[in-house]
């Protein structure tokens, strides 16, 4: 009996679970149907299209002459190493022969003991007197010999030896040699005094009083003070902008900041040095600046060693487009806004890029073209754009 009761209870529980499941299923279906019938309807809205706004500048043709800029340091036009050509003890040194002093042309810088050279000069003069006496004696003997030959009446021509012509020739040669020795002696005496070869500044001093010098001993190093040089490296692009005479003789403006004040000088392009430097692909232009061309009397000439900025005009390039440098994009391209408001990415022929402007060939654009000078996040050729001012008015 107990087993039959257990089987009946299990059957009843199973039927109850099935009934409950069906009730939940039908109830969920009813609720879902009700929600579907009462759902809100979404309103359809058209998507807004976003058009980037840009700023433009109008391209205009201008007559352009490039201004070439370069930098270089100041060096003396002339630099000389003074040396001794004689041997002896130094007896005098000018008090002005000190580094940094300016010495006038012809001023005595140093003296060497000249006693030995004066002795040699005196000896040479004595030799000249002896040679002249010998010549006079030989000429007298020659006259006497010719007279005696005539008295003998032997006829014929007397020999040169009898007429003492070789002796006279030798005496004359001795006179010439003695005169040469005098000239050398006088020159050596003059060399014992060393003078400033030109108005110069003392760069280095190598000798003092009491020292002993020999031939080729260094005395001092001096440099010119009336004219300086500035060596300016020019790259190949800048060389192509020079006039037909390669800039030689043209005026060059030089300037530098000294103690917070800007000083300017007017120089002249003197020459181009050698060929092109293979390491820097540049060529050196030498510019000279003279004292009488100085514009600012505070510094008649720029100090040696000073770093200068130089600028001078190149050859006129005719009509070109001069645009702000920021309009030049990567790869020498420009962004142009055409009449339909569409972006056009064009390849430009760039003639020159300066610090603030870029020079574009007249073949690359037309006067009146609108060049975009504002950024675009993702520029695509043909994309629609609008002017920033038009958007603000709307």
| Residue range 362-385, pLDDT digits in tens | 998 999 999 999 888 888 888 888
Strands 212-213 and 88-93 turn out to be antiparallel
The partner residues of 211 in beta bridges, in order of sequence, read none
Average pLDDT estimate for 6-30? 70
User: Which has the closest alpha carbon to 368: 344, 336, 331?
Assistant: 336
In the chain, the percentage of residues whose pLDDT exceeds 90 is 38
Whether the Cβ atoms of residue 383 and residue 371 lie closer than 8 Å to each other? no
For residue 394, the model assigns a pLDDT of 36
Assign 238 a pLDDT band (cuts: 50, 70, 90).
confident
Assign 119 a pLDDT band (cuts: 50, 70, 90).
very high
Whether the Cβ atoms of residue 107 and residue 249 lie closer than 8 Å to each other? no
Give the least confident one: 141-155, 217-231, 298-312, 336-350.
141-155
| Residue range 94-118, pLDDT digits in tens | 999 999 899 999 999 999 999 999 9
For residue 162, the model assigns a pLDDT of 67
What burial class does residue 336 get, using C-beta atoms within 10 Å of its C-beta: 0-12 exposed, 13-18 middle, 19+ buried? Answer: buried
Whether the Cβ atoms of residue 256 and residue 262 lie closer than 8 Å to each other? yes
pTM of the model: 0.63
Say whether pLDDT at 392 is over 50: no
CA 221 – CA 98 distance, rounded (Å): 10
CA 132 – CA 149 distance, rounded (Å): 26
For residue 107, the model assigns a pLDDT of 94
Q: What is the mean pLDDT of the chain?
A: 83
The phi, psi pair for 376, rounded to 5°, reads -125, 130
Whether the Cβ atoms of residue 54 and residue 384 lie closer than 8 Å to each other? no
For residue 254, the model assigns a pLDDT of 92
For residue 113, the model assigns a pLDDT of 92
The phi, psi pair for 151, rounded to 5°, reads -70, -35
For residue 155, the model assigns a pLDDT of 60
| Residue range 192-212, pLDDT digits in tens | 999 999 999 999 999 888 889
The phi, psi pair for 38, rounded to 5°, reads -105, 15
| Residue range 40-89, pLDDT digits in tens | 665 665 555 678 888 999 999 999 888 888 899 999 999 999 999 999 99
For residue 372, the model assigns a pLDDT of 92
Whether the Cβ atoms of residue 358 and residue 333 lie closer than 8 Å to each other? no
Cβ neighbours of residue 219 under 8 Å, at least 6 residues apart? 82, 83, 84, 109, 110, 194, 205, 206, 207, 213
CA 225 – CA 240 distance, rounded (Å): 34
Across 219-242, b (16+ Cβ under 10 Å) vs e yields bbbbbbbebbbbebbbeeebbebb
Place of tokens 């007397």: 158
Q: Give the long-range contacts of residues 45-51, CB within 8 A, separation 24 or more.
A: 51/384, 51/385, 51/386
């Amino acid at each position: 009996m107990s087993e039959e009761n257990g089987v009946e209870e299990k059957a009843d529980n199973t039927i109850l679970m099935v009934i409950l499941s069906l009730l939940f299923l039908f109830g969920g279906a009813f609720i879902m149907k009700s929600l579907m019938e009462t759902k809100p309807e979404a309103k359809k809205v058209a998507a807004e299209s976003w058009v980037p706004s840009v700023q433009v500048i109008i391209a205009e043709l201008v007559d352009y002459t490039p201004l070439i800029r370069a930098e270089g340091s100041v060096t003396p036009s002339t630099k000389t190493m003074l040396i001794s050509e004689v041997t002896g003890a130094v007896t005098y040194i000018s008090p002005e022969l000190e580094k940094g002093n300016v010495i006038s042309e012809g001023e005595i810088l140093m003296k060497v003991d000249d006693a030995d050279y004066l002795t040699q000069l005196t000896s040479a003069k004595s030799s000249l007197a002896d040679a002249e006496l010998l010549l006079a004696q030989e000429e007298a003997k020659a006259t006497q010999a010719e007279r005696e030959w005539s008295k003998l009446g032997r006829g014929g021509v007397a020999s040169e030896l009898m007429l003492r012509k070789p002796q006279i020739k030798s005496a004359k040669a001795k006179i010439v040699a003695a005169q040469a020795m005098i000239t050398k002696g006088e020159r050596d005496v003059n060399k014992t005094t060393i003078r400033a070869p030109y108005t110069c500044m003392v760069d280095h001093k190598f000798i003092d009083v009491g020292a002993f010098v020999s031939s080729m001993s260094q005395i001092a190093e001096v440099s010119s003070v009336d004219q300086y040089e500035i060596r300016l490296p020019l790259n190949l692009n800048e060389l192509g902008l020079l006039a037909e005479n390669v800039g030689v003789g043209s005026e060059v403006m030089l300037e530098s900041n000294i103690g917070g004040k800007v000083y300017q000088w007017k120089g002249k392009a003197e020459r181009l040095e050698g060929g092109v430097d293979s390491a820097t692909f540049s060529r050196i232009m030498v510019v000279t600046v003279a004292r009488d061309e100085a514009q600012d009397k505070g510094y008649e000439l720029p100090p040696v060693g000073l770093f200068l900025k130089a600028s001078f005009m190149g050859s006129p390039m005719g009509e070109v487009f001069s645009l702000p440098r920021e309009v030049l994009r990567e790869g020498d391209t420009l962004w142009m806004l055409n009449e339909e408001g569409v972006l056009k990415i064009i390849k430009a022929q760039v003639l020159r890029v300066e610090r603030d402007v870029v020079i574009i060939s007249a073949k690359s654009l037309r006067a009146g073209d609108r060049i975009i000078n504002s950024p675009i996040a993702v520029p695509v050729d043909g994309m629609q754009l609008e002017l920033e001012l038009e958007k603000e008015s709307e």
